[in-house]
Amino acid sequence: MSAAKFVSSFRLASLLRHEKDPSAAFKLFRNPNPETANPERPFRYSLLCYDIIITKLGRAKMFDELQHVLYQLKSDTRIAPTEVIFCNVIDFYARGRLPNHALQLFDDMPLYRCQRTVKSVNSLLNALLKCRQFEKMSDILLGMEKFGNPDACTYNILINGCFRNGCCDDAWRLFDEMLRNKVKPSGVTFGTLIHGLCRDSKVKEALKMKHDMLKMYGVRPTIHVYASLIKALCEIGELSLAFKLKEEANEGKIKLDSAIYSTLISSLLKVGRSNEVSGLLEEMRENLCKPDTVTYNVLINGFCIKSDTESACRVLDEMEEKGCKPDVISFNMVLAALCKAKKLTEASYLFEDMPRRGCGPDVVSYRVVFDGLCDGMQSKEAASILDEMLFKGYKPRRDGLERFLKGLCQNGNLEILGKVMGSLHQRDAIDAEIWSIIIDTAFKELKICHMSDSIDLLLTR
């Protein structure tokens, strides 16, 4: 029998790179040569091996295993890790919402034989921003001089943090400081500032900043700048100016995304200019910007608001024809519009057809159809939907259930009422308050004189 092939550090790096299962990769990393392991001659890992396994474990959020590898790296004095490895780990901790881990690793970087610069400071600031640790961001800034001068990335992160924390004045002070320190603002800087102005309804100031960023600072507006401005203009009804900005972006060879087109389509529908929507959709396709689910949902919502259920259903069909799968929100909007229009048969057909079309109903779907059937006095169908809803672990809206039960009492539908009460009891969806409502209604509507008689009557149905 031939001896097992020895795995070198070069071979290990290749094996780790091609191993898709992070748990298996970690096991391989821990013991690359199980049959030839020699405690007196430990395996000599390369920096590439460490980098690959750290990336795999970080992406998989296997933080306990990642900690083990980092501890081993700290002890492996042959290796001098690069700063980018720690920047990546700090980002992994941010995604896992582990800001204290990120802070600790940053403090420990010298123990790994790695010098900290503004790059790792920026990674830490960004991690704290993602975790909304605004006060800790300020603490890091106080000791910034030890690691180098703040760059554009530093200021961008800090300005973003100020806006997110509601400290708009501090954001503008940071921008002034940035200019004083001769740090050139970037497109991200202006995108953040303009977004903040738009959010505060300062659209005129935001438009001026867009003009100044090119004329005064030589920075071309980005898609994020146009997105913020177009959305803000649409919100205040300045559609002509919003479309002018769209044309300006197109002329500047800035590829607009579906979110911007969706905003414009929604605004057109709100002001009754639905005849212009088809042209905008055609422009999207010409610009190789494929309408997505959000775009189509905007269309569906616009038609539903106007009670144009026929057009809303047509959009659902078009989505599938164009290879864009409707989501549960798409179906729920149409279901709600059909129920509101008392088109209960169509709503029921659509509801039953959802699984075949690749989208199972959720709790909202069931509630919409149940409430619609109740309002339409279709008690038998409503009871069936309720039973299915309870079976799936969903519960109806409290007020809708109470109206349904009272209606059954008032109409003398004792057989359906008994089945519904039994179903509610079986699924633990009935409480003392519901019993009180039913018994009280039974006294008034069914002329039952004794509480025990009303309970017996319901339970024997």
Q: If we measure between CA atoms, which residue out of 312, 317, 282 comes closest to residue 298?
A: 312
Q: Residue 8 has what DSSP assignment?
A: P
Please report the pLDDT score of residue 1 as a whole number: 40
Please report the pLDDT score of residue 416 as a whole number: 82
Q: How many CB atoms lie within 10 A of CB 267?
A: 22
Distance, CA of 363 to CA of 384 (rounded, Å): 15
Distance, CA of 295 to CA of 280 (rounded, Å): 11
Q: If we measure between CA atoms, which residue out of 202, 150, 199 comes closest to residue 179?
A: 150
Q: How many CB atoms lie within 10 A of CB 121?
A: 24
Q: How many CA atoms within 13 Å lie on the side-chain side of 63?
A: 16
Q: If we measure between CA atoms, which residue out of 16, 18, 20, 17 comes closest to residue 31?
A: 16
Higher-scoring residue by pLDDT: 429, 420: 420
Q: Give the chain's largest Cα–Cα span.
A: 92
Query: Percent of the chain, pLDDT > 90?
Result: 67
Q: If we measure between CA atoms, which residue out of 119, 122, 107, 128 comes closest to residue 83?
A: 119
Distance, CA of 399 to CA of 181 (rounded, Å): 61
Distance, CA of 384 to CA of 362 (rounded, Å): 16
Instruction: Average the pLDDT over 223-234 and give the result.
Output: 96
Q: How many CB atoms lie within 10 A of CB 395?
A: 15
CA distances to 16, 59, 369, 425 from 406, in Å: 65, 54, 18, 17
Distance, CA of 120 to CA of 86 (rounded, Å): 7
Answer whether 200's CB lies under 8 Å from 166's CB.
no
DSSP labels, 146-211 = GT----HHHHHHHHHHHHHTT-HHHHHHHHHHHHHTTPPP-HHHHHHHHHHHHHTT-HHHHHHHHH
Distance, CA of 339 to CA of 46 (rounded, Å): 65
- Tokens at 70, concatenated: 């980092």
Distance, CA of 163 to CA of 196 (rounded, Å): 6
Residue type present at position 444: K
Q: Is the pLDDT of residue 88 over 80?
A: yes
Please report the pLDDT score of residue 399 as a whole number: 85
Q: Is the pLDDT of residue 420 over 90?
A: no
Please report the pLDDT score of residue 171 as a whole number: 94
pLDDT digits (tens, 9 = 90+) for 244-265: 999 999 998 899 999 999 999 9
Instruction: Average the pLDDT over 22-27 and give the result.
Output: 96
CA dihedral 456, 457, 458, 461 (to 10 degrees): 110
Q: Is the pLDDT of residue 449 over 60?
A: no
Distance, CA of 121 to CA of 172 (rounded, Å): 21
Q: If we measure between CA atoms, which residue out of 405, 392, 383, 340 comes closest to residue 362?
A: 392
CA distances to 142, 328, 418 from 316, in Å: 55, 11, 38
Distance, CA of 68 to CA of 389 (rounded, Å): 47
Q: How many CA atoms within 13 Å lie on the side-chain side of 84?
A: 5
pLDDT digits (tens, 9 = 90+) for 43-66: 899 999 999 999 999 999 999 999
CA dihedral 362, 364, 368, 373 (to 10 degrees): 50
Q: Where are the beta strands (DSSP E) in 304-459?
A: none
DSSP labels, 33-102 = -TTT--TTS-----HHHHHHHHHHHHHTT-HHHHHHHHHHHHH-TT----HHHHHHHHHHHHHTT-HHHH
pLDDT digits (tens, 9 = 90+) for 155-169: 999 999 999 998 999
Please report the pLDDT score of residue 419 as a whole number: 82
Q: How many CB atoms lie within 10 A of CB 389?
A: 22
Instruction: Average the pLDDT over 129-151 and give the result.
Output: 91
